[in-house]
A and B are shown apart, each in its own frame.
Chain A
Amino acid sequence: MAPQPTPAVRVQAEDFDLGREQALLTRGRRDIGALVSFLGLCRDEDGALEALELEHYPGMAEAEIRRVADEALERWPLQGLTVIHRFGRIQPGEQIVLVLAAARHRADAFAAAAFLMDFLKTRAPFWKKERRADGASGDWVSAKSEDEAAADRWR
């Protein structure tokens, strides 16, 4: 067995570049057969959202993502893993989260990326507050039971 790769985990206010992150993960590699990327974007469904304010728990956010990433590495033979999650003010259309999973074969890369997102949603300490376009103070986004169910299917 090849040694397990070290996941690249970043929690940051700044935006990120998907192409650059893919290049970093695959640079100089000849053994990767599949790279799955998931990009989560800030979504405005009814034209009423000005922005999301993403609050996070510094230190724990990184630690928890790293724990989930380590669990993914235990479950699937991966060649590389990158997780980036932003915090702060994010407007509709902007990027929030990136997961890159690289493996020899696509099934492992797909499964690991889905697993990471399901667990990030329920375990990584981030909270979204809506800022409304009409200036009214928005609400905290509430957690969805579908997200819990999505995470439970991996148990």
Chain B
Amino acid sequence: MKALYFAWVRERIGLAEEEIAPPREVVTVRELIEWLSARDEGYAAAFANPATIRAALDKTHAGPDAPIGAAREIAFFPPMTGG
């Protein structure tokens, strides 16, 4: 699946997007965050405070317990500050 990162999540990870292939036991958004956090310090820093992370599955907001299912795209970003 494609992973997208925005704002300071993107800056800390150092990537705007990448292909990821999480193992089968990664079922929820929360578990995907934990799996990504274990990759290196950048990911760990980006996801250090899960309360400040928002996620979207196929361009729709998704909570931490949402199953990733067959989503083709997941995005991680801070709370939004538009308007």
Contact = CB atoms under 8 A, between A and B. Distances in A.
Interface of A: 40, 54-57, 59-61, 63-64, 85, 96-97, 117, 120-129, 140-143, 147
A60 B75 contact: yes
B83 A126 contact: yes
B38 to A, nearest CB: 25
B61 interface: yes
A117 B83 CA distance: 7
A127 B77 contact: yes
Contacts of A117: 83
Which secondary structure dominates chain A's binding surface?
mixed
22 contacts: A57-B6, A57-B56, A60-B56, A60-B59, A60-B75, A61-B82, A64-B59, A64-B61, A97-B82, A117-B83, A120-B82, A121-B80, A122-B79, A123-B61, A123-B80, A125-B56, A125-B75, A125-B80, A127-B77, A140-B78, A143-B78, A143-B79
B13 to A, nearest CB: 14
Interface of B: 4, 6-8, 56, 59-61, 75, 77-83
Nearest to B11: A140
Contacts of A59: 59
A140 B46 CA distance: 14
Nearest to A54: B82
Given A60-B60, A96-B83, A127-B77, 10 more contacts: A57-B75, A60-B56, A60-B75, A64-B59, A120-B82, A125-B6, A125-B77, A129-B7, A143-B80, A143-B81
Quick one: which of B61, B77, B80, B82 has the most chain A CB within 10 A?
B82
A56 B59 contact: no
B54 to A, nearest CB: 8
Contacts of B56: 57, 60, 125
